[in-house]
Structure 1
Amino acid sequence: MVLEGKIVTMAGEVIDRGRVFVEGDRIAAVRAQGSPAPAGWDDAKVIDTGGVIYPGLIDLHGHLAYNVLPLWEVPRRYENRSDWMRAGAYKRDITVPMDHLTSQGGPAFARALVRYVEVKLLMGGTTVAQGLRSKSGPGGTLYRGLVRNAEAPDEAGMLRAGTRVPDLQLDQVGQMRASLDSGDPYFFHLAEGVDEKARNQFRLLQDENLLRDNLICIHCVGLGAADHQTLRQSATHTVWSPFSNLLLYGATLDKEALAGDFALGCDWSPSGSRNLLHEMKVASLHAQAAGWNLSHEMLARSVTVNAAAALQWDEHVGRIAEGMLADLLVLDSNQVDPFENLVRATERDVRLVIIDGHPRYGDRGVMDTAASVQNLEFLGVGLRPKALDLHQPESPLQGIGLQAAMDFLRSAMSDLTKPPPPPLFPMMNALADEEFSVELDMQGEVEDFPLAMAAAEPRRSIPLDPLTVVDDPDYFDRLDEQPNLPQDFKGPEGLRAFYH
């Protein structure tokens, strides 16, 4: 097929009116309007998108299994990740519900969860994500889903990322060194907090010569300007998650910390953004409040070329160019500057998302033309008709639609005192009888449970987090009640101004 529209290649040029030629899973050519088509394309399907075409967005920080949970009512400002993970309120609202749902719901809950969170990513224009680790089948192979998974790449030549969430202990240094020595990208939650304990993790990495060019450091809130300079000198990558930092610690990275290239990540729904479209707005608003001239183009780079480079996937994704994978996002054209257009876009403005050459989500009119109509599932976003194509015969989720997944999740989460009811969706896939369970990496230490839960009233139910910001009427009221969120983000002139 051929996509027509304004093309933001992220390779040094913007083509005001151009065409992207997609053949199979690859971009065959990129041409300006009026330039001749490649030979043999005379009968290709042409889709005039009427919008702006970008590379698919890359989210480099997530705990995606938790993205069914709503925004957490953070009780106070914390100094370190371990402080809030041990709190009774955290155990009550996050740890215990997720433990119940995954243990009692089994493979059916895991399938519904993965289906839901991947559609959530699609609706925000994300085509690559980090942080969805699941086990399916013998040998514990990582799940390969609809959205590209940093930990389980499904394309030849894409390196498989490793991940470590807990703080590094001295006796674990050898294991981390071996992972880094492999050359594969390695995600590490570094200095997640604002106290000395958080910064001590940086000292350990520095002392043990673990600051490498394939190390991807998430958060880094507890580091000083000199520490960030050391990271840049080591060619170590930084992933910024401003919203989660602000909600939990009341602080995040500044202009000096992010003086070089960086990537952006949403973290998770309990304390982060629902998608990168929202996280870019948080970053922009934070910079504006701090008097920092963070350009829209730099934010666009943080979710495309910078993120791809950190993963060492930059020969495959992150740009629109001949030979790259056909992972594409098309948005409404609402702003003259295409980079500002991306930063200010909401989920309603998503016209089309293509992954691996397959149109997966978008406006119903566009999807009727681009996709196989018999596979479409219809829905609305911001009162705008949309459609999904979730057909993927090799997936353990084949046969599970979005609505069926939502119905099952809501039923399971409505009563946490008993096991979820049997699912209403079919288990039509080769892995139906095999183990399929998501990994929960934010449960904390088991020994913390009794003391924490003694002071916490158990939750009997918990609501399913909505798919989008535009269709969550209470979202900004809940943000206004968050104690650690700066005043610049609240009220009619804060984040909600982007959505009205």
Structure 2
Amino acid sequence: MDATHAKTHASLCHAATVLPEGVSRGPLSIRAGRVDASTASWAYRVDLRDHLIFPGLINAHDHLHVNAIPPLRAHTPFPNSYVWIAAFQQHFEHPDVVAALQVPKALRLRHGALKNLLAGTTCVAHHDPWHPALDAQDFPVALLRDYGWSYAPGWPGYGPPMQESFAATPSDRPWLIHLAEGTDAVARAELAQLDQFGCLASNSVLIHGVGLSSGDIERVIAQGAAVVWCPSSNLALLGHTLDPRRLCEAGRLTLGSDSRLSGARDLLDELANVVDGYGLSSKQLLALVTTQAAGILRMPARGHLLPGASADMVIVEDRGGDVMRSLVGIDRSRIRAVVRDGMPCIADPDFAEWFAAAGVETVQVMLDGKAKLLAKSLADEALIALEPGLEWTAGEGRQEHKLAVAGGSC
């Protein structure tokens, strides 16, 4: 088998490929970082019997550079995010926060990306000014690009001005803004304010939306706009979150973890936090972080594994029963492998031959107490030191699963 072909072509055999629309069986072929419609005879074959292949998850809202900054500990909910921001100003003087901010921003951005990748998220919408570090070829995740954004209607001093930013954003590209992040009159008035300024349209993506009334939600749906739901962050800061059902049924809802400054550890934890509490099925929840997210964020090559899609994948064991629950609600350490652009990035040790065939050098790490192989390009010492639960190991780790990786037929 030609070495170049082995690095860019693979066939994942005997696994079920999962989408919210259903489950398909048969080889899933990868060619040059994309899902391919055909299987080449010389493709490297990975036998994944008793496994499920999901599309790489999409995190519709994160602030990548603040995931290692200690959160503000508050005992009472804030009425809106602006009050929380004001309270955080004094927190900037805390020694732990000072130390965290001394870490170069480029490294903090990379850490936020790694945090996402470890939990099966391969694409992120970063809601902050662009930074050159985000353009690195080996950046751990793909990013939403060519989008418009403003920070929030009541925070004009940070980020692009609301009306100017909206006007400059093409109608076929998403425009992101924090909106109605609160439970008081200030938050409840923001959708009307946005509409008054002509910034509510089919490409408007509203982050949080806690203060939206039922009438506001119908207005959002009628305009073809959408909301990014960040329940863990909402509950931590505001003591309340929105009812997601109507927006979800209309296809106008996606999910974001926000940063660890206020939100969940990662997108998998966010899913686990809501899987049984908000009247949404596991199938609906999976759509929020795959197909529905891709549609709202205007990324047609993501969120699915049809031919031509980016070959970003999350591989897990088939647990039987509700197929979607094999991923929705599990912890990151139970993921068998995360794949980006057709290449394994982090996986259980018995995937070693696949890493080798793909030309990916690895290091041995422990993730939440479980042995993993991590692509060497992601294994910077300073980066690993930023992520709780991720550490170096000198041992081989226990191989708890049997996996055939071979050059034979599917």
Instruction: Please give the secondary structure, in 1, of the residue aligned with 2:163.
Output: helix
Aligned to 2:21: 12
1:124 is the counterpart of 2:113: no
1:77 is the counterpart of 2:77: yes
For residues 114-172 of structure 1, give each alpha carbon's deviation from its aligned partner in whole angstroms, at most 9, with x where no partner exists: 332222111100000111655239xxx85662200114xxxxxxxx1222223258994
Task: Indicate how the Cα distance of structure 1 residues 273 and 101 shifts in structure 2: closer, same or farther if over 3 A, else same.
Answer: closer
1:149 is the counterpart of 2:130: no
Alignment of 1:405-484 (within 5 A): 405-407=383-385, 409=386, 465-466=388-389
* Alpha-carbon contact 2:150-2:161 (below 8 Å) kept: no
What residue identity is the alignment partner of 1:239?
V
Aligned to 1:474: none
Alpha-carbon distance between aligned partners in 2 of 1:112 and 1:127, rounded to the nearest angstrom: 18
Aligned to 1:22: 30
Instruction: Please give the secondary structure, in 2, of the residue aligned with 1:344.
Output: coil
Aligned to 1:3: 12
Instruction: Please give the secondary structure, in 2, of the residue aligned with 1:86.
Output: helix
Greater relative contact order, per chain length (Cα 8 Å cut-off, separation 6+): 1
Give the aligned length: 373
* Alpha-carbon contact 1:7-1:18 (below 8 Å) kept: yes
- From 188, 198, 203, the equivalent of 2:187 is 198
* Alpha-carbon contact 1:119-1:402 (below 8 Å) kept: no
Aligned to 2:44: 45
Alpha-carbon distance between aligned partners in 2 of 1:49 and 1:402, rounded to the nearest angstrom: 30
Alignment of 1:174-323 (within 5 A): 174-181=163-170, 183-254=172-243, 255-256=245-246, 258-261=248-251, 262-287=253-278, 292=279, 294-314=280-300, 316-323=301-308
Aligned to 1:383: 369
* Alpha-carbon contact 1:53-1:330 (below 8 Å) kept: yes
Alpha-carbon distance, 1:258 to partner: 4.2
* Alpha-carbon contact 1:24-1:357 (below 8 Å) kept: yes
Alpha-carbon distance between aligned partners in 1 of 2:161 and 2:197, rounded to the nearest angstrom: 11
| Identity level (%) | 26
Task: List runs of 5+ in structure 1 lacking aligned partners.
Answer: 30-37, 152-159, 392-399, 410-463, 469-500
Task: List runs of 5+ in structure 2 lacking aligned partners.
Answer: 1-9, 392-410
TM-score scaled by length of structure 2: 0.83
Task: Indicate how the Cα distance of structure 1 residues 101 and 244 shifts in structure 2: closer, same or farther if over 3 A, else same.
Answer: closer
Alpha-carbon distance, 1:319 to partner: 0.6
Instruction: Please give the secondary structure, in 1, of the residue aligned with 2:294.
Output: helix
Alpha-carbon distance, 1:24 to partner: 0.8
What residue identity is the alignment partner of 1:273?
A
Aligned to 1:482: none
Give the CA RMSD over aligned residues: 2.7
For residues 62-115 of structure 1, give each alpha carbon's deviation from its aligned partner in whole angstroms, at most 9, with x where no partner exists: 111111134542231110101111116x6326888556654x44xxx2343233
Alpha-carbon distance, 1:305 to partner: 0.3
Instruction: Please give the secondary structure, in 2, of the residue aligned with 1:359.
Output: strand
Aligned to 1:365: 350
Instruction: Please give the secondary structure, in 1, of the residue aligned with 2:42.
Output: coil
1:346 is the counterpart of 2:324: no
For residues 412-449 of structure 1, give each alpha carbon's deviation from its aligned partner in whole angstroms, at most 9, with x where no partner exists: xxxxxxxxxxxxxxxxxxxxxxxxxxxxxxxxxxxxxx
1:163 is the counterpart of 2:172: no
Alpha-carbon distance, 1:353 to partner: 1.1
Alpha-carbon distance between aligned partners in 2 of 1:258 and 1:252, rounded to the nearest angstrom: 14
Aligned to 2:131: 135
* Alpha-carbon contact 2:232-2:263 (below 8 Å) kept: yes
In the TM superposition, structure 1's runs of 4+ consecutive aligned residues that sit over 6 Å from their partners are none
Alpha-carbon distance, 1:182 to partner: 5.1
For residues 222-244 of structure 1, give each alpha carbon's deviation from its aligned partner in whole angstroms, at most 9, with x where no partner exists: 01001001000100011100111
Alpha-carbon distance between aligned partners in 2 of 1:216 and 1:112, rounded to the nearest angstrom: 28
What residue identity is the alignment partner of 1:187?
L
* Alpha-carbon contact 1:69-1:94 (below 8 Å) kept: no
Instruction: Please give the secondary structure, in 2, of the residue aligned with 1:130.
Output: strand
